Amino acid sequence: MDVEHKQLVQLLPLLPLLAELGRTQHITATAEVLGLPQSTVSRAVSRASAIVGTELLVRDGRGVRLTPAARALLPHIEAALAEFQAGLDLVRHESEVVRGRIAVSFQHTFGEATLPLLISAFRNRHPQTAFDLSQGARDGCLAELAAGAADLALTAPVAAPGRRIASAALYREPLRLVVHHRHPLAGRAGAKLADVRQDPFVALGPGYGMRSLTDALFREAGFRPRIAFESQDTHTVRGLVSAGLGVSILPPGGLAPGRHTAERQGDLGWVEIPLESALAFREIGVAWRERPGGADAEPDALRLFRELVLTEGPALLAGFVRERSGG
């Protein structure tokens, strides 16, 4: 190690003290700011002077003042500390950045708000995390999860836990009877399924979460619906109802009960009516694959996203449900 390098190594620990001394211009004030005894500050300045090879402080009456050498050195000390702080901040930031890709499988009805709300909340904290999204019927979402094509699956009803699959409920939303806005029930505050026993029914296809829920509602009511159409998405279902081609059962579509869509062409429009049944709700949940090593074996991005979904998701989504349900 050459002499200059050795001097630099000896001087580096003293730089914060010298920078503070340059700001206060006073040993006592410097000692108070740094929480050190005055004698420690005085010895440090004397040591720094010896390392540099010239005096950095001189007596000035009962006090001290910086020498021209100290004043010349001070800007370089402050610049060195600023550079080091910038590097330290960068390292800390990089260590906090969560990267990676998260594959999420979800039912069609969660694409409008549920999943975007969760991703937005996560990306506000970890903007460099990427998401691979796959949407479809409930059965398809759970099949992708089981096969390893998805890390998480958002479904309703909540997936049953199994040997390798864990799940948790997030929130609950009501199901409503959806009818043409000139239907005889359109002005009602509530309705039973028996009220639409003779109406053609617009259903989601087999394998969709809503299909299993509506099937259960009709079993409770004691009859089978007369299915006129089967669709793969709720937008088409509402369109068919709006055209007067049947009634349906769906989650809230953004309308308060009893309100209907504005007429667009001809006589199009639909109304949502609360269903008088204890089964008229759906529970949305998240499912994930258990890994042999547990949470420690998961990528950080996946672990943190699941933690957010489980801890903050229920409150976040419940507020959305209240707003969409007119509550």
100-107 vs 176-180, strand pairing mode: unpaired
Is residue 72 located within the same domain as residue 11? yes
- How much is the pLDDT for 258? 56
Give the whole-number percent of the chain exceeding pLDDT 90.
46
265 pLDDT exceeds 50? no
Q: Residue type for 73, please?
A: L
Is residue 228 located within the same domain as residue 145? no
Q: How far is CA 206 from CA 114, 137, 169, 233, 264, in A?
A: 23, 9, 23, 12, 31
- How much is the pLDDT for 77? 84
| CA 249 to chain CA centroid, nearest Å | 30
Give me the domain span that covers residue 50.
3-96
- How much is the pLDDT for 25? 78
Is residue 8 located within the same domain as residue 83? yes
Give the whole-number percent of the chain exceeding pLDDT 70.
86
Q: How far apart are CA 30 and CA 241, in angstroms?
A: 78
Is residue 199 located within the same domain as residue 154? no
Please state, rounded to an integer, the average pLDDT across all residues of the chain: 84
Q: 């259960």: which residue's tokens? A: 216
Is residue 198 located within the same domain as residue 274? yes
Q: Is 117 helix (H, G, I), strand (E, B) or coil?
A: helix
Is residue 272 located within the same domain as residue 292? no
Whether this model's pTM surpasses 0.75: no
Contact (Cβ atoms closer than 8 angstroms) between residue 89 and residue 96: no
Range of lowest pLDDT (110-114, 196-200, 222-226) = 110-114
Q: Radius of gyration of the chain from Cα atoms?
A: 34
Angle between helices 114-123 and 313-324 (to 10 degrees): 140
- How much is the pLDDT for 96? 45
111: left (phi over 0), alpha (psi -120 to 50) or beta: alpha
91 pLDDT exceeds 70? no
CATH number at residue 50: 1.10.10.10
63: left (phi over 0), alpha (psi -120 to 50) or beta: beta
Higher pLDDT, 112 or 218: 218
Angle between helices 114-123 and 300-311 (to 10 degrees): 120
- How much is the pLDDT for 296? 63
The burial of 17, by beta-carbon neighbours within 10 Å (0-12 exposed, 13-18 middle, 19 or more buried), is given as buried
Omega of the bond leading into 157 within 30 degrees of 0 (cis) = yes
Angle, CA of 272, 275 and 280, to the nearest 5°: 110
Range of lowest pLDDT (34-48, 196-210, 299-313) = 34-48
CATH number at residue 247: 3.40.190.10
212 pLDDT exceeds 80? yes
Could you say which of 96, 124, 141 is where a domain stops?
A: 96
Side-chain half-sphere CA neighbours of 127 within 13 A: 3
- How much is the pLDDT for 95? 46
Is residue 273 located within the same domain as residue 310? no
Is residue 160 located within the same domain as residue 294? yes
Could you say which of 64, 96, 128 is where a domain stops?
A: 96
Listed residue (185, 180, 175) closest to 245, CA to CA: 180
Number of structural domains the chain divides into = 3
Higher pLDDT, 7 or 261: 7
Q: What is the pLDDT of residues 94-141, one digit of tens each?
A: 444 567 899 999 998 888 788 999 999 999 988 889 999 999 989 999
Is residue 118 located within the same domain as residue 37? no
299 pLDDT exceeds 60? yes
- How much is the pLDDT for 13? 77
Is residue 266 located within the same domain as residue 181? yes
Q: How far apart are CA 235 and CA 158, in angstroms?
A: 22
Instruction: Categorize the per-residue pLDDT at 195 as very low, low, confident or very high, splitting at 50, 70 and 90.
Output: very high
Instruction: Categorize the per-residue pLDDT at 260 as very low, low, confident or very high, splitting at 50, 70 and 90.
Output: low
- How much is the pLDDT for 17? 80
Contact (Cβ atoms closer than 8 angstroms) between residue 279 and residue 217: yes
Listed residue (195, 231, 228) closest to 211, CA to CA: 231
Is residue 110 located within the same domain as residue 253? no
Could you say which of 43, 74, 96 is where a domain stops?
A: 96
Listed residue (64, 66, 21, 56) closest to 41, CA to CA: 21
Instruction: Categorize the per-residue pLDDT at 311 as very low, low, confident or very high, splitting at 50, 70 and 90.
Output: very high
Is residue 222 located within the same domain as residue 313? no
Q: 């349900």: which residue's tokens? A: 325
Q: How far apart are CA 238 and CA 245, in angstroms?
A: 10
Contact (Cβ atoms closer than 8 angstroms) between residue 69 and residue 52: yes
The H or E element spanning position 311 is helix 300-311
Q: How far apart are CA 214 and CA 281, in angstroms?
A: 10
Q: How far apart are CA 38 and CA 19, in angstroms?
A: 16
- How much is the pLDDT for 254? 57
